[in-house]
Amino acid sequence: MGASRFLDELGRRVLVCDGAMGTQLIARGLRSGECSVLWNSDRRDDVLAIHRAYREAGCDLITTNTFGGSPSVLARHGLEERAGELNAAAARLAREAAGPSGFVLGDVGPFGDFLEPIGDTSVEQARDIFRRQIAGLIEGGSDAILVETMSDPAEAEVAVAVAREAGAPAVIATYAFQKSADGSFRTMMGNDVADALGRARAAGADVVGANCGTSLSLGDYAVLAGELAKAAGGTPSIIQPNAGSPRMVGDSAVYDATPEDMAALVPRLLAAGVRVIGGCCGTTPAHLKAMAAAVA
C-alpha cells in the first residue's frame, strides 16, 4: 500500500470526478472534425480554463483532454507521430489545474477499430497503440490511467494490462452500457455488467464501473450503480452518468437534466455503494458543482 496517493485517498472518502470535456471545447470554438487533442498544444489556455472550472466546482479528479489521443485516432488528423508529446502535454495541463491535493486521470478512449476477428487490429497492434498513448500520459504526471467508454471487454483488458505494465500508479476502467430489451444493462458487444467488470478487474484495474451510456435515464443510472457496486466486489466502483437521456435536435443530442436533477441522483448513487462519482455527456461545471456539494 501507499504506492498510489489516489487509491489511499479513495480508501478514505468518496471522490468526485469531473464532467464532459467535448461540449466545453465546442463552446470555446472547437469545430466539427477538428482534432480536440491538438488543443493541449495549440489552445492550452482554453483546456486549462476548463480543467480549472471543474476543479473550482469541487472535482477531486481532473481528466486529461485525450479521449481521442491514441496514435490510431490521431492518425486521422496526420498527428500520429505526436501522440507521446500531446498526451504528456495534456497530463501536464490537468496537473496544473488539479494542484497538489487533486488527482490527474490520464484519459484513454477506444482506439477506433475493433479487435480481430470483428475488426482488423490484432491484440499486439492494440497493445502498441495503447502503450504509446499511456507512456505520454504517465510521463506528464497522471495519478491514474482511466480506460473509458469501452464496449468490448477484450479491448479494455488490453488497455488495462498495458497501463499496468507501463507503471501506472493506478488504473480505472469504465464501460458504456445500454439497456437491452429484457431490461438488463449490456455493452454494445452484449456483455453484462458482471462479465465486463470482472474482466477489467482480472486484467488489473483498481477501480471499475461505467461512464456515458446509450439513452439511460437518471433512474436507470441509479439501478446501474447498484449493479456496478455488486459486480465490483471488493474493488471500488465509479459511475459517470450523462445529464439524463438525450433528445435529438437536428444532428445534435441535447441533455436536459439540470444541476439540481444530477444532485438529486447523488444520494442514490452513494447508497448503491459507488465510490467515485462524475459526469459524462451533457454535464458542465455547474452540474459537477451541485453533485460535489451533494457528495459533501
- Least Å distance, CB 233 to Zn ion, is 25
Residue 280 near Zn ion by CB under 5 A? yes
Lookup result for grid cell 478512449 = 109
Count the site residues for Zn ion by CB under 5 A: 3
Go through the chain and tell me how many residues it has.
296
Q: What single letter denotes the amino acid at residue 82?
A: R
Q: CA distances (Å), 98 to each of 58, 66, 244, in order?
A: 10, 16, 27
Complex with Zn ion: residue 197 or 281, whichever CB lies closer: 281
**Residue from 16, 94, 126, 281 in contact with Zn ion (CB under 5 A):** 281
Residue 251: how many other CB atoms lie within 10 Å: 6
| Cα–Cα distance, 296 to 294 (Å, whole number) | 5
Residue 150 near Zn ion by CB under 5 A? no
Three-state secondary-structure class, residue 22: helix
Contact of 110 with 155, CB cutoff 8 Å = yes
Complex with Zn ion: residue 71 or 282, whichever CB lies closer: 282
Restricting to residues 199-228, name those near Zn ion by CB under 5 A: 212
Complex with Zn ion: residue 104 or 281, whichever CB lies closer: 281
Q: Where are the alpha helices (DSSP H) in 111-258?
A: 123-139, 153-165, 193-203, 218-232
Number of residue whose CB is nearest Zn ion: 212
Query: From residue 225 to residue 264, what is the string marking binding to Zn ion with x (rule CB under 5 A)?
Result: ----------------------------------------
Complex with Zn ion: residue 155 or 161, whichever CB lies closer: 155
Residues lying near Zn ion in the complex (CB under 5 A) are found at 212, 280-281
